[in-house]
Amino acid sequence: MTTDEKAKLAMGRTGAAYISKANRLDAEIITLKAKYERNVLALADIIEYIDNATPIKVEDMLADDLIRELAERKRNSRMS
C-alpha cells in the first residue's frame, strides 16, 4: 500500500483505501499487459529472424503465446 492508502486506513477510511489500491493495481495491470505485448512482439521478431537465418526449428521450443503470435504474423504476411 502507498503512504496515502495507509493514512486512509489509519483514519478508518478502509473503503477509500481499498478502492484507491484497486484503481492503482488496475492501472498497473494495464501497463504490464502493454509491456507483455511488446515483449511478445519483440520475441516474435527475433524468432522470425532465427527461422530465416538458420535451419533451427525454434517453434518446437516456444510457449503457446509465442506460437500463436507467430502463426498470426505468418497469416497476416501471406495476406499482404
Sorting pLDDT into bands at 50, 70 and 90, what band is 65? confident
The position carrying cell 500463436 is 68
pLDDT band at 80 (very low <50, low <70, confident <90, very high): low
pTM of the model: 0.61
pLDDT in tens, 1-13: 899 988 988 898 9
DSSP string, 33-69: HHHHHHHHHHHHHHHHHHHHHSS--GGGGS-HHHHHH
13-58, pLDDT tens digit by residue?
Answer: 998 999 999 999 999 999 999 998 888 888 878 888 888 898 887 7
